[in-house]
Amino acid sequence: MNSFTWLNELLYNPVFLVTVLVFGGMVVGFTGYKLFRFYSAAIGFAVGVILGYYLSLFIFSEPSFLTYFAAGVVMAIAFGLFYRAGLFLTGVVAGYMFLSSLLPEKQLYCYVFAVLCGILVLFLERIMLILITAFLGATAVTAAVEILVSGITGYDFLLDPSNVFSATFSSLSLFLLWFVLGVIGIITQLAISREESEG
């Protein structure tokens, strides 16, 4: 029996994927800034997996799960040891992933936008992390809806993480869901942050 059979079953199981995406999306979307401060290594692993996708395309010209995992481990360690570097790379990865899903043929614009996002996160840490995590959480929930509607699998997301954003912008209803959830996430995180600062 293939040692990865269980993984295949999970990635093709819509109930499992939808549950993880909705639960994880809500947690990240509504408490992302707080999570980043206290669990930066875990956030680093997630960012590293996404970064690993783009690195594997650049190095091997095709997706490589081993590269995903290796990049995730390296980034988890880096985020745990070097907080500011983690902030910058979070902005870079989120910025590139977002714009490349909208303008895949304009790579130079994507690179510039990614670096600008990384710099902005360094100078506007609180608001930028709230924005990024709120809309990443909203994106996860939107992806869950897309799985239910279209039958897309976990492999489609792992082979190309930008599919998560592409699904968000594939229809007006999904975009509105993404936007509303993102705004709710921002408001919730700002309220939590304000309560902590006053407490």
Establish if 43 belongs to a structural domain.
Answer: no
C-alpha to C-alpha distance for 120 and 194, rounded to whole angstroms: 21
- Number of structural domains (the chain) is 1
Locus of tokens 């650049």: 58
- Measure CA 33 to chain center: 13
Element (H, E) at 103: none
Look at residues 107, 102, 145, 117 and name the one whose alpha carbon lies nearest to residue 47: 117
C-alpha to C-alpha distance for 9 and 65, rounded to whole angstroms: 16
Establish if 68 belongs to a structural domain.
Answer: no
pLDDT at 9: 64
pLDDT at 126: 87
Look at residues 123, 124, 136 and name the one whose alpha carbon lies nearest to residue 186: 136
Average pLDDT for residues 163-180, to the nearest whole number? 81
C-alpha triplet 149, 129, 59: angle, nearest 5°: 70
Locus of tokens 């081993």: 66
- Full-model pTM: 0.74
Query: Quick check: 55 and 92 in contact, CB under 8 A?
Result: no
pLDDT by residue (tens digit) across 12-71? 677 777 888 889 889 888 988 877 766 677 777 877 877 777 777 777 776 667 777 788
Establish if 58 belongs to a structural domain.
Answer: no
Establish if 160 belongs to a structural domain.
Answer: yes
Establish if 198 belongs to a structural domain.
Answer: yes
* DSSP string covering 35-95: HHHH-HHHHHHHHHHHHHHHHHHHHHSS--HHHHHHHHHHHHHHHHH-HHHHHHHHHHHHH
Instruction: Find the domain containing 174 and state its range.
Output: 124-199
- Residue type for position 196: E
Establish if 162 belongs to a structural domain.
Answer: yes
- Mean per-residue pLDDT over the chain, rounded: 79
C-alpha to C-alpha distance for 121 and 83, rounded to whole angstroms: 12
pLDDT by residue (tens digit) across 55-111? 777 777 766 677 777 888 888 887 777 778 778 888 888 888 888 877 778 888 989
Establish if 94 belongs to a structural domain.
Answer: no
Establish if 144 belongs to a structural domain.
Answer: yes
CA atoms within 13 A on the CB side of 43: 33
